[in-house]
Structure 1
Amino acid sequence: MSAAEAEKELSALLACGADRDALRDWLQSQIDRDALAFDAGAPVETLVRRRAQRMDWLLQHLWQQLGLQAQADIALLAVGGYGRGELHPQSDIDILLLLKKAPDATLGKQLEQLITLLWDLKLTVGHAVRTIDECETAARDDLTVMTNLMEARLLCGDPGLSARLRDHLSPVQMWPPDAFFRGKVDEQKARHRKFEGTAYKLEPNLKSSPGGLRDIQNIQWIAKRRFGDQSLLAMTRRGVFLPQEYRALTRCQLFLWRVRYALHLVAGRAEDRLLFDLQKAVAERLGFVDQPGRLAVEQFMKQYFRAVLTVRNLNDVLVELFSEVMLGTHQKSEPVVIDAHFQQRDGLLELREFNTFAKHPESLLSVFVVLAETEGLTGLSATTLRLLRHSRQRVDAAYRANPRYQQLFIRILRARANLATALFAMKNTGILGAFVPAFAQITGQMQFDRFHHYTVDEHTLFLLRNLVRLSDPNTAGLFPHAERIMQRLVQPELIYLAGLFHDIGKGRGGDHSELGAVDALQFCKQIGLSDGDVELVSWLVQSHLAMSLVAQRKDITDPEVIAEFAAKVGTTQRLELLYVLTMCDIRATNASLWNGWKDALLRDLYLATREYLRRGSALLPADSAALIRDEALQRLAADGIASEPVHDLWRLLGGDYFSKVNGETLAWVTTQLLAQPEDSDEPLVIARQLPSAGGTEFLIYVHDQEFLFAAITALLAQKRVSIQAATIHTTPYGMGLDAFVVLEEDGQPVLDLKRLQSIQRHLQQHLRDVSKVPLNLQQSSTKRQPFVLETRIGFSNDARRQRTALELITLDRPGLLARVGAAFKYCDLLLHNAKIITLGERAEDVFFITDREARPLSQEKQQQLEHMLRLLLDAATTATTAATPGAALVAQSPLSQASHSSSPLSQSTDSQPTKKMTAT
């Protein structure tokens, strides 16, 4: 439908007295037609301007219909994005009703009718009714109002009023260009801080994130205040932009417009956040399709992040150039000469000659050497940034093969003063991707999950920045072991290279650790590292996940686990570098992933392995248990507790308990149990902050009952705490002695005393009879899951410790652990320990289990358990009814299909023994 036809159709509707429903239908039909055109590839700039034009017609017709054209001294203006003539499908309609004086009763009623009618038409209207004086006062006091009014466009009414408003808002009257520039730059900095200074996050904001549409608009607003014209083409003609920069910025703006248009269509509302749950649908709407090893959504997000990187970089350059023009910063101080090619001015490094990069190719890297090594520098000047971007094509294969330039790259990585600043500048100018081509491939690469919050390139730079901070002797001492390692490194470039390459294989399919190790090997050889250094960097890349996997999925109190890990590591040097690399990697993945519990796990594994490598041999299990008991006895004796009641108690616990705890924990548990009255039959629930401050531990001592583990996990879930680890033990006398390490939802220990006591009371109250505990197995998740994660189940038997490790990777959901506990009970299994890991939408849990005879699971038993787990985990999760242990849970799952003939639920149980601790 042409513009003339659309206006004619609207005129006809209004002429025949169409009601509001008919007008709403017309508006929706226009959105639907535009959506079809958008899907067919119509230019987005045509669509956003067409919608603004249609809104102009509607407002102009309604203005006449309500008799407002007869009113003098009033004007209707479009402001904001609508004032620029840009309306996306669900954009707000921002208007200003401009008056010469306050409205009388008649005019006030007419204006109220207009706004009410617009809202009745389901339009989201942002309106203001102001006189010129009121507009002037608001604009003078608030830069946001000023910016909004700068884009005012007359729709109806008195043109003289609109002209007078422009005069009152002119740079001569208020907000001269230099003050306006300072205000908009401060505004932009504050906005960027809200997003942690990065646009490369899991759920970016199309408008407000760094590199978003607001950064383009900021340049346009500043230019309009300075030159009177805000079009990108006009700024290019004035020499503000280079032609290639104009083309790049225009291309990015149109791409971001298309993304925003698709997002509005998919969301059905005015949404500017690229929410995780919407990204897949937006990608499909934009025409991206899955390819082998590359999801459509990942292709789309990669293009998005590369676009915002371009916008962010150009914005940085142009803001700095505006600063030089408007504020005269280039005249504020004399430059300080650094060497033949570079000088600094006001903390920024700049070229002494415009053609330095062309005449001296080594300066493309030496500029970063100077930036990294020189104290007091905060970055590169705008001209230098611009020239670097336009010179990066000089860094080709021959350049990378030049030994002189290779040594410059290594020298950058050895710098101490500003290494992180230099690395981010290398990335943003494209020099890092040019010198390390594999890095260019991961620029903008995002993984479609809730675990990785940043693009691969941004995550890598954050990791490197974490390493740099550990190497600073002025750090706060939060990670003393890691800081000591980093600060005494003779060749820090080796761990920086490992960090640079650790994820460089992502996005290609296959094992990224293996792919990255090959890339690291080739690159390190190319830049002339020794064979030993090459092998070390490649090994670190290949093994960069090993330490976190052991710490989070294996029982690191087991000497054999330590011995096995030590054999893999081999040397103390490798261990130290892997420990630091692992810590910095986890901390750079997302803000909520790192916590004190993970810190404690990694630290304990590092210290235990270091001690093993120093000693050169592993303790036998019996020796280890003896040492644990001896340490506990010493601690108890220091507290005045006699050994005789201690030994009496320990005989009741069972010999395998001492392989599950360390000496400090054994002493604490012993103290708590001895303090209980012998004739008490109440559940014992005691909380403590772990000595490492990594988490809160709940010790639970209660009669062993059917579904005890499932009930405890359900009760803890009801109190909204996250389980990190569980130690499960059943004494020979029918008592459950379990310990659960938990964190709050924000990753911190449970520190509030009242909340701690509330959780304790909740557990004590319901553990008297767990058959009445609601498991809530069918409670639906509050988060939509836009994809399916296939459940993976794996088993490995530990012949020495006589148990089986079950590894479960599945979609996280409410009641997950309760379902797992139910499966163990149905299959008549014993749970001894558990490692609980939640990575975004993924649960990656490890359970250490045996059969009732305390033996590893047979092949048949493993198959039976896997079958039961899949039955329970695949059960419907959309209902909201709660289940209790036993028959109600059976009713929820197709247990009649289970391969085992008898469930413990169908068997009678003996009465529980009393809780009195008496040896027999």
Structure 2
Amino acid sequence: MAAGPYDHIPRRRDIIDRKALMMAIETLLGDSPAGTEPPRPATLALFKDALASGRAEIRRRFLGGNGESPSDARGRNDGPAVLAATSFLMDQLLRVLFDLANEHVFPAANPSMGEQIALVATGGYGRAELAPQSDIDLLFLRPYKQTPRGEQIVEYMLYLLWDLGLKVGHATRSVEECIRQADKDVTIRTALLEVRYLWGEKTLFETLRRDFTQKFLTGDGRDFVEAKLAERDARHRRMGDSRYVVEPNVKEGKGGLRDLQTLYWIAKYLYRVDDVAGMVTKHVLTQSEARQFRRAEQFLVTVRCHIHYLTGRPDDRLPFDLQREIAQLLGYADRPGSRGVERFMKHYYLHAKTVGDLTRIFVAALEDTRRRKPRLRVLWETLRPKQLEGFRIDGQRLAVAGIDDFAKDPVRFLRLFHVAQENDIDIHPATLRLITQNIKLVDARLRDNPEANRLFMAMLTSRKDPETTLRRLNEAGVFGRFVPDFGRVVAQTQHDMYHTYTVDEHTIRAIGILSRIEAGTLKEDLPVSSEVVHKVLSREVLYLAVLLHDIAKGRGGDHSVIGAEVANQLCPRLGLDAAETETVAWLVRYHLAMSATAFQRDLQDPKTISDFAQLVQSPERLRLLLVLTVCDIRAVGPNVWNGWKAALLRELHFATEQVLSGGTLQGGRRSRVSWAQAETNKLLADWSEADKEAFAARANAAYWLSFEPAVLARHARMIHEAERTGAHLRIEHRVDAERSATEVTVYTVDTHGLFARLAGAMALSGATIVDAKIFTLSNGMALDTFWIHDLEGKAFDRPDRLARLRARIELALVNRLDIAVELQRQQPNYPTRDRVFTVEPRVLIDNNASNNHTVLEVNGRDRPGFLHVVTRALTSLNLQIASAHITTYGERAVDVFYVKDLFGLKVVNPRKLAEIETTVEDTIRAFDAKFHHPPALARSAAAR
């Protein structure tokens, strides 16, 4: 029976009984002479049954079930137990298979030494840590050259293993070949570092262990350490170089299991340890760090096992759909103001951060002590002063003078990072470890210390890369202890497709963006922000507002309101006066107001601008809010910021600035229309006065105020050409480079449901509408302008796509395109990741946002056809759509419509308003039910 790594597995024979399996095979053999292979189908069936029943028993223990024993209950959600039990199962199967091949199928009466063979586990299987769907790494070890009999044994075993559906990584080598290959390839050396004897000639295995130790484990290990560190860095870059990605890889990602294994490999290679306890004995880790190691490993391994069981494949990525399922399996239930899946992912990121802490402290210390010193580094150390503001220089890193420095003066927790920032120097890993061991000294007394707060503000507002310094503070645990409210959002996640990073990572990235705006490095992308940032009266106010804008996420309620309360409490402690504190609190309270107004309101409506100006009240607040908004959006994740959003924010900023500076929008409406018509006429110099007057008479004032004169002139020529040729449909497009969008203008006969048909045609063509302005001219023709993106948020500009769009619009307008049928037919081609999420439909009605229109805000799950479905419902309610403003936040669509009733008036009747709300929400729910089939639920049902 197995020993060592399997002693803790209860009732091992319930997983597999090796003797019983061997007896069943011997029964198949009967009285057959030696060298006879038992019937292959029957043999394969026996192995398949043993494998399937063993896996089922392991899974049953892991997931729990009815009538489970106390030992089974302990094994529930115990990932390491699954790894050990799966390894045990595979060991027994391989031993039976080896005995069958070696003693019965290819027997040797008196095998020579050259015919001996040993079966050896390598890699993760060698550690007896085999995940449910992982490959089996085997080494067939022979003494000299391969013999025909040895080849037959190996081939027989591999074919049967493959027939069992197992994925086998294998090599057949002699001891000498193993050592030679390990000398050339660090990957092979790492695999041989964890070899484990399975079966066969044990003296061969012992020779391999002895020769490997003598060859590789007697030197300083410098080359191995360097290779593993380079391998780790390359892997991190390949996986995104952040542990805070929304769908992390539990094994290969930063902060994942492979990082823990790298730490263990290096310790094993250098110190000859066999487990985490040995790392404590060798003073590689402290007892506390070893406990953190085990807890992180337990959590990550358990999550990985759930992924393997739910997917049925060796997938180590934790996608959105599995996050929710695994959270439920691990007992993370929803609570008021706290979703279970978000608490689960917070714990994941906290464990990943722990892994980062352990590997950074341990591996960086090895880097410091074992890597060769280049000549330039020696020269640098010679010229560099040995002391720096009370700290010592050790190599190229800043270190404390003694182990009791923090206890003597806790302010040094902050001063250390400040000195490192000002002198562009890293912090010694031993000092980082000392910080971790003394972190409880960052307490209320230190938080109330004026010098500590001064140093913190100096780091936050420094012109020397505050992002890196704050990230170091956060990684060391000092940030969250010194600002406890920030500590509450460390690893805080939002389970959606909009937010790419955890709240703390998003915040630190936003501060980095602010620093780059201020330094002028983003001037080309953000010209207005780069200009106004230098006009703000208080840099401290701006930096603190960016720091605190999401500080209250995850607490339930409105995080903006709660965050403003946090700002009122924290800012005086950090040295701000009453007026500055009030401004920070206001910015936190309204940090979403500018983006909501720019993206979800009609900026040509004077009331939109006047309402926003009344909220902002001062040019200083407008400048601060603009920069804060830009930093916030750009730090959400890649591809969130685009030229369209930039243009809308600029437009809102300049219009509001005009009002706050004493200008007017509403009062000059008539003069603005006259100016627009005059400027347009200048661009139509070749037209007769009669033609100009006829065009001016066809549109109302809202039309003239909605476009620049150049656009108005294009519209005029487009309409003139359509009338000259007698065309009932004309479509033109141009790429608006400034807004990174494609402007599509459709001139056609105005008909009931026109907007809905156009929206459907665009959805079927892969276009996303981001804005639309709808006008009916006095001649009964519609002039509708759309701004569209492709599915990646870029201008829709490929000629083939534009041709397909034009063709589908033409078909839709003559009712030869069944949009609903086509949307359903295309559904398999749509991205499936967003189907994980459920967004409850919601309609908000505002009759105060505009003087002339009722404003409808429609929320729902974004997918192709959503806008078509909504506008079709609005058409059925006899509503006229004047403009539409489309915003998406990951899986959530927020579409805002300015509408009037059939008589061209605002909708004020309560019963009609209630009907609008009910009809639109029910329509969206029906569409969700028809098109929303969460793949996770179907897969889970099949898996169980």
Establish whether TM, by shorter chain, passes 0.5.
yes
Q: Is 1:384 the equivalent of 2:431?
A: yes
The equivalent of 2:38 in structure 1 is: none
- CA contact 1:171–1:177 (8 Å) conserved in 2: no
CA distance in 2: counterparts of 1:799 and 1:49, whole angstroms: 64
Corresponding letter in the other structure for 2:61 = A
- Alignment match, 2:542: 495
More displaced 10-residue stretch of structure 1: 546-555 or 92-101:
92-101
Distance 1:873 1:642, change over 3 A: same
> 1:97 pairs with 128, 140, 150, which one?
140
The partner residue of 2:912 within 848, 855, 861 is: 861
- Aligned counterparts, 1:469-618, within 5 A: 469-475=516-522, 477-487=524-534, 489=536, 491-618=538-665
Write the letter of the residue equivalent to 1:794. L
User: SS at 2:843's partner residue?
Assistant: strand
The answer to whether the 8 A contact 2:493-2:502 is kept is yes
Q: Is 1:695 the counterpart of 2:741 in the alignment?
A: yes
Query: 2:803 matched to which residue of 1?
Result: 758
Tell me the residue number matched to 1:320: 364
- Which amino acid in 1 is paired with 2:254? P
Q: 1:796 to 1:159 in 2, by over 3 A?
A: same
Which range moved further: 385-394 or 653-662? 653-662
State the alpha-carbon separation in 1 of the partners of residues 50 and 751 from structure 2: 65
In structure 2, relative to structure 1, the CA distance for the partners of 1:329 and 1:251 (3 Å cut) is: farther
Q: Report the RMSD for the aligned CA atoms in angstroms.
A: 2.8
Matches of 1:134 and 1:699 in 2, distance apart? Answer: 72
1:223-234 matches, cutoff 5 A: 223-229=267-273, 231-234=275-278
Equivalences for 1:656-671 in 2 at 5 Å? 656-671=702-717
CA offset at residue 824 of structure 1? 2.0
Q: Are the equivalent residues in 1 in contact too, given 2:122–2:192 (CA < 8 A)?
A: yes
Of 389, 395, 407, 2:442 maps to: 395
Question: Equivalent residue of 2:782, what SS?
Answer: strand
Structure 1 residue aligned with 2:460: 413
TM-score, normalised via structure 1 length: 0.89
The match for 2:670 is 622
> Residue in 1 aligned with 2:892?
842
Contact 2:79-2:303 within 8 A present in 1 as well: no
Per the alignment, residue 937 of structure 2 pairs with none
Deviations 1:60-95 (A, max 9, x none): 111122236758254332222111110122222222
Tell me if 1:811 matches 2:861: yes
Preserved CA contact (<8 Å) 1:684 1:764: no
User: Residue type matched to 1:498 in 2?
Assistant: A
1:265-300: CA deviations, max 9, x gaps? 233332211110011111111122222222221221
Aligned length: 876
Conserved in 1, the CA contact under 8 Å of 2:607 and 2:850? no
Question: Map of 1:77-156 to 2, 5 A cutoff?
Answer: 77-99=120-142, 108=151, 110-130=153-173, 135=178, 139-156=182-199
Deviation of 1:642 (Å): 6.1
Q: Give the distance between the partners of 1:740 and 1:646, measured in 2 at CA.
A: 25
Q: Identify the residue that residue 63 of structure 1 maps to in structure 2.
A: 98
Structure-2 separation of matches of 1:120 and 1:307? 39
| Structure 2 residue identity aligned to 1:45 | P
Change (3 A) 1:635 1:339: farther
Q: Which residue is 1:290 aligned to?
A: 334
2:788 corresponds in structure 1 to 742
CA contact (8 A) 1:687 1:756 kept: no
Task: Judge conservation of contact 2:82–2:132 (CA < 8 Å) in 1.
Answer: no
Give yes or no for the alignment of 1:790 onto 2:840.
yes
Aligned to 1:23: 47
Alignment of 1:267-286 (within 5 A): 267-286=311-330
Distance (whole Å) between structure 2 residues aligned to residue 49 and residue 840 of structure 1: 40
- Change in Cα spacing, 1:113 to 1:822, as seen in structure 2 (3 Å) is farther
Aligned partners of 1:52 and 1:87 also within 8 Å = yes
**Stretch moving more, 478-487 or 2-11:** 2-11
Give 1:814 shift: 3.2
The letter of the residue matching 1:90 is Q
Q: After superposing the two structures, state which structure 1 stretch, 787-796 or 669-678, moved more.
A: 669-678
Aligned match of 2:942: none
Shift, 1:165, TM fit: 4.8
Residues 636/75 of structure 1: CA separation in 2 closer, same or farther (3 Å cut): farther
Q: Which residue of 1 aligns with 2:925?
A: 874
Matches within 5 A, 1:309-458: 309-327=353-371, 332=378, 333-334=381-382, 335-337=384-386, 339-344=388-393, 347-374=396-423, 376-377=424-425, 379-458=426-505
Structure 2 SS opposite 1:837: strand
Tell me the distance in 2 between the aligned counterparts of 1:22 and 1:34: 18
| 1:374-412 deviation digits (Å, cap 9, x = unpaired) | 2x33x3210121122222211211221122222222222
| 1:123-202 pair list within 5 angstroms | 123-130=166-173, 135=178, 139-163=182-206, 165-166=208-209, 172=215, 177-202=221-246
User: Unaligned regions of 5+ residues in structure 1, if any?
Assistant: 882-920
What secondary structure is seen at the aligned counterpart in 2 of 1:41? Answer: helix
5 Å-filtered alignment, 1:187-226, equals 187-226=231-270
Q: Do the aligned partners of residues 603 and 33 (structure 1) sit closer, same or farther apart at CA in structure 2, a change above 3 Å counting?
A: same
The one of 244, 268, 285 equivalent to 1:241 is 285
Q: Contact conserved, 2:513 with 2:631, CA < 8 A, in 1?
A: yes
Contact 2:765 2:805 (8 Å CA) reproduced: no
SS, match of residue 770 in structure 1 = coil
Give 1:583 shift: 1.0
Q: After alignment, is 732-741 or 496-505 more displaced?
A: 732-741
Match for residue 896 of structure 1?
Answer: none
Q: Secondary structure at the match of 1:274?
A: coil
For residue 835 of structure 1, give the secondary structure of its aligned residue in structure 2: strand
Q: 1:34 to 1:4 in 2, by over 3 A?
A: closer
- Greater shift, 106-115 or 284-293, is seen at 106-115
In structure 2, relative to structure 1, the CA distance for the partners of 1:495 and 1:880 (3 Å cut) is closer
Q: What is the TM-score normalised by the length of structure 2?
A: 0.87
1:842 Cα deviation (Å)?
A: 1.1
Residue in 1 aligned with 2:872?
A: 822
Q: Percent identity?
A: 33
Contact (CA 8 Å) 2:677, 2:704: kept in 1 or not? yes
How many angstroms apart in 2 are the aligned matches of 1:466 and 1:266? 39
Q: Give CA-to-partner distance per residue, 1:135-191, whole Å, 9 cap, x none.
A: 566545543343233323232334455455556756846997212211211121122
Per the TM alignment, residue 343 of structure 1 is displaced from its structure 2 partner at its CA by: 4.0
Which range is displaced more, 517-526 or 402-411? 402-411
8 Å CA contact 1:213, 1:256 repeated in 2: yes
d(CA) in 1 for partners of 2:791, 2:174? 50
- Note the alpha carbon deviations across 1:782-841, whole angstroms, 9 max, x for none: 526445322111112258642211111112233211211221222222112111122122
| Distance change >3 Å, CA 133–CA 472, structure 1 → 2 | farther
Q: Is contact 2:754–2:813 with CA below 8 Å preserved after alignment?
A: no
Distance (whole Å) between structure 2 residues aligned to residue 499 and residue 472 of structure 1: 16
Contact 2:837 / 2:891 at 8 angstroms: preserved in 1? no
Deviates more, 1:21-30 or 1:518-527: 21-30
Q: Deviations over 1:102-146 (max 9, x none)?
A: 756665454344223223323233334456676566545543343
Moved more, 446-455 or 164-173: 164-173
Which runs of no fewer than 5 residues in structure 2 stay unpaired? 1-9, 29-41, 65-72, 933-944
CA distance in structure 1 between the aligned counterparts of 2:335 and 2:411, rounded to whole angstroms: 40
Going from structure 1 to structure 2, the CA distance change for 1:486 and 1:523 (only over 3 Å counts) comes to same
Aligned mates of 2:179, 2:534 — CA distance in 1: 58
Tell me which moved more, 656-665 or 47-56.
656-665
The residue that corresponds to 1:900 in the other structure is none
Task: Give the match for residue 11 of structure 2.
Answer: 2
Q: 1:426: Cα distance to partner? A: 0.9
Q: Which sits farther off after the overlay, 81-90 or 627-636? A: 627-636
